[in-house]
Every structure is written in C-alpha cells, then in structure tokens.
C-alpha cells in the first residue's frame, strides 16, 4: 500500500519556486523540503511500480484518491535540480542518499528523465578547481565531486548492477534505454572522474570520495580488480550515446597518463601513470564486457558490440581533440604525434584489434607491445632515447636510426613473440628498474581477470 499525501500542494509550491531567482533560493529551507518530499514520493512510487507482483498487486493513492497520472515528482525535481547546495545535502545523506540515486536511475520517468537530470547537470568546469585562491571555485568543485561520487557508489556493487541492468517492472530494460537523456547527462558529469575510478587521486578535482570508513567502493576487494569501478563503466554503457562520450573521456585519460610517463620516465612514482593507463584499459574492456554480455547473451555478438563501442568512442575522442593551441603541453604533443604518425597503429594501440569469432571483450582487448612502441617512438621523436638502445635492440631500429613501427617489426620477425618481448625490456629500461616494463599489462590483467 502506498499512500501519498500533500502531493498537489507540493507540486504547486514547486511550480512557484521554479520561477524564482536561483541565487536567492540556493540551499533554502523550502528547496530542501521540496527535494526531500520528492525523494519520499519517488521511493513510494518506485516501490509500487516495481513490486514483485506488478503494480496491480498493490494499492496506490495520491491525496486520498487513485490516479493514472504518473508524473508525480517530475515538476518537483525540475524546480530544485539546479540548486546544487540542496542536491548535495540530499544525495550525500548517509541514510537515504544512495537509495535516492538508485530510485532516480531506475524510475520509469514520463519524460525520459529530463526533469530529474537537472540534479546531475553541471557546468563544463564545475568539477575542476581552476583557481585555488577562489573559495567559490573550490566549493563548487567539492560539491560536484561529492554528488558524483555518491552516484558512482550507487552503481558500484554487484547488486546495483543487477538492478540497473534489469530494472524491475520494465520488461527487462536497463537504465540506458529506460532513461537515455538522464544517462547521457550523468555520463558527461562522471567523465571528469575517470582517473579517480582507476585509483588516481586528482587534486584539482576534489570531493570525489572513493573511501568510506577506510574501505574503497571502487576496489572493494583491495586486489586492484576495481570491480566497483567496472560496474560504473558498465552502467555508463547501457546507453550507446552515454557510453560513447564516457569512453572517449577514458581514452583521453589513458593518453594523458601515457604522455605524463613519456615526459619523464625516471621521475619519482612515474609508474603510477602506467598503472592508471593499464587500469583504465582494463575497466574499458571489463565494463563493456559486462554490458554487452548482459545485452546480447552471445560472446561473438557481445565482442563485436564492445569493439564498435570503442571505435565510436575513439572517433568522438579524435574529433574532440583541439590542436589549434599550437600543440602545447605533452598530452597535446603526444596525441598529435600519435594520430598523425601512428595512424591505424595508434588507433589499435588505444582500442585493440577487431575481434575474431569466439573471442570475448576482455581477451582481445589490448596489445601492450603497441603501447610500448608508441611511447618509445614518441620519446625518440620528441625528446630522446638512450643511445645504447640501438646497440642492445638493433631489431627495433631502421637503417636511419629511427624505431621501426610495430607492424614493420612484426613483418621483419614474422610475428615472433620472443623478439617482440624486447619492447617490454626496452620500455622497462626507459623508466628504470622499478617494474615499469610490465606495469600497464599487470594493471590491465588485475581488472579483467575472471576471479576479480
């Protein structure tokens, strides 16, 4: 039995509030009461609509009478969604916050989630502290991070994925096709935190808390499998457009991490950039594997769908790269160099080869020898390589002293895996004797392993 009272009055207040000046109502008591009322109404409506026996198995009453009008909370959330002070207070509530996020994601909205998405829509720079001396800038970034970390945590458990991939009462729909507009907004808002989801702290993007009471929700088993993050990646890919944008941000972060290593391989803790790149490669494949296997229930079709999603993400990333700034910065230099000199090899290093029959998304994913060759070649062209490399690894260089491309090396040695392992050995020496040679590969394997 679900009996909602005061709905009409609450909706009327929300309509009035929606016309108010945002600067005067931010964090106001009336906004807080409205959003909390909306939270309670939504929880009751979801419980009714998602009841095990279907909605007809329960009684639902609004202001003392039955109703066929399902748009109960849309106007409430639309009115207060831009008040991020209030949204933060409700979403981060220890008792109700995560469940509220789940209710928002799984509700069968009458408008595809357009009203609710305002709660998770932020400005392009809201996640980033651009001026640490600006208190408002810091406050906004922290608030954005706090909200989105709860959204991520609400998606991170095995139980959450089971619900979000098969929402009760929706004919087995996942949250993507159920609420595509909502998921696309959340994808954009989660994109700044891809590095955090791989375990890399970003000081300029504060507030995205991945630990609660000393326990990580992104890597709950503590074995670097990042199973919590993998579920977030899977949820992001339940809608193709949401996944395409989010995955392009992941590729961006992978290149950023690799360029940071290439800039100074001997810097203290330079290996963290390789670990981040490998983890993100793994999360991209594991998240796509979870989503596509759930959608297609056929390994070949799932692998093909996962590859198409990565191709789409690469195309978005490539189109979004802005080279008009004169290629400033190591990330821009690395990306420009890779796309212009690496071509298809660069693309394959980023997203892996097209799968063959009877392969699974996580197994055909990444050939790290290509990554190693790309970073080594960029290092040679932009900075330098140790002179002894040509002496110790002559197979990798042409007559002009330049590194051969990966494909040229494969043709030269007939795809001899023993020879190609030399890239890993060379790469390890580039960064010193600290295990950098296999750090990306190991981090990837930790994520995609079946027992993770």
* Contacts of 268 by beta carbon, 8 Å cutoff, 6+ apart: none
Supply the pLDDT for residue 328: 43
Residue with tokens 């330049």: 402
**pTM, rounded to two decimals:** 0.86
Supply the pLDDT for residue 367: 80
Supply the pLDDT for residue 369: 85
Residue-level pLDDT, tens digit, the chain, 452 residues: 466 777 777 878 877 777 666 665 677 888 999 999 999 989 989 988 888 766 554 556 676 666 666 788 899 999 999 999 999 999 999 999 999 999 999 999 999 889 999 999 999 999 999 999 999 999 999 999 999 999 999 999 999 999 999 999 898 899 999 999 999 999 999 999 999 999 999 999 999 999 988 899 999 999 999 999 999 999 999 999 999 999 999 988 998 898 888 888 888 888 899 999 999 999 998 998 887 776 656 666 666 776 777 767 666 666 666 544 444 455 555 665 555 555 566 666 666 667 766 555 444 567 888 888 888 988 888 888 998 999 998 889 999 999 998 888 888 776 666 666 788 888 888 876 556 778 899 999 999 986 55
CB 404 within 8 A of CB 398: yes
Q: Which two tokens stand for residue 358?
A: 């009877």
Burial class (CB in 10 A: 0-12, 13-18, 19+), 65: exposed
Q: Which of 36, 46, 47 is nearest to 6 (CA)?
A: 36
Structural domain boundaries in the chain:
176-452
CA distance 281 to 272: 14
Q: Cite the DSSP H helix spans in 321-435.
A: 329-337, 343-351, 368-382, 388-392, 406-413, 417-420, 422-430
Q: How far is CA 147 from the centre of its chain?
A: 15
């Amino acid at each position: 039995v679900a009996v909602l009272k005061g709905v009409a009055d609450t909706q009327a207040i929300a309509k009035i509030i929606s016309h108010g000046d945002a600067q005067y109502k931010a964090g106001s008591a009336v906004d807080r009461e409205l959003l909390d009322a909306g939270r309670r109404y939504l929880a009751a409506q979801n419980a009714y609509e998602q009841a095990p026996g279907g909605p007809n198995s329960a009684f639902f009453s609004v202001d003392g009478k039955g109703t066929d009008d399902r748009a109960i909370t849309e106007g409430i959330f639309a009115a207060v969604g831009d008040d991020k002070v209030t949204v933060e207070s409700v979403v981060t509530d220890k008792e109700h916050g995560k469940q509220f996020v789940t209710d928002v994601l799984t509700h069968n909205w009458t408008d595809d989630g357009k009203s609710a998405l305002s709660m998770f829509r932020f400005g392009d720079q809201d996640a980033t502290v651009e001026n640490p001396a600006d208190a408002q800038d810091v406050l906004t970034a922290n608030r954005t991070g706090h909200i989105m970390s709860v959204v991520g945590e609400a998606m991170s458990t095995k139980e959450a994925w089971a619900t979000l991939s098969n929402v009760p009462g929706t004919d087995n729909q996942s949250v993507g096709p159920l609420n595509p507009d909502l998921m696309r907004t959340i994808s954009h808002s989660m994109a700044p935190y891809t590095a955090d989801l791989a375990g890399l702290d970003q000081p300029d993007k504060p507030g995205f808390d991945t630990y609660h009471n000393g326990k990580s929700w992104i890597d709950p088993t503590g074995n670097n499998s990042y199973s919590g993050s993998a579920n977030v990646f899977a949820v992001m890919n339940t809608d193709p457009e949401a996944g395409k944008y989010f995955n392009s941000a992941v590729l961006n972060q992978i290149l950023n991490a690799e360029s940071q290593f290439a800039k100074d391989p001997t810097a203290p803790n330079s290996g963290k950039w390789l670990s981040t790149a490998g983890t993100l490669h793994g999360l991209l494949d594991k998240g796509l594997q979870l989503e596509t296997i759930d959608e297609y229930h056929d390994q070949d079709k799932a692998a093909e769908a996962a590859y198409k999603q990565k191709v789409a993400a690469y195309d978005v990333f490539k189109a979004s790269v802005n080279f008009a700034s004169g290629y400033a910065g190591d990330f821009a230099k690395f990306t420009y160099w890779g796309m212009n000199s690496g071509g298809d090899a660069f693309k394959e290093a980023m997203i892996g080869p097209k799968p063959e029959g009877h392969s699974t998304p996580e197994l055909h994913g990444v050939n790290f020898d290509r990554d190693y060759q790309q970073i080594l070649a960029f290092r040679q062209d932009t900075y330098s390589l140790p002179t002894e490399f040509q002496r110790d690894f002559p197979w990798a260089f042409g007559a002009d002293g330049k590194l051969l491309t990966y494909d040229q090396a494969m043709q030269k040695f007939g795809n001899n895996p023993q020879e190609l392992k030399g890239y890993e050995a060379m790469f390890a020496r580039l960064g010193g004797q600290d295990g950098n040679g296999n750090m990306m590969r190991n981090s990837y394997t930790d994520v995609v392993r079946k027992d993770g």
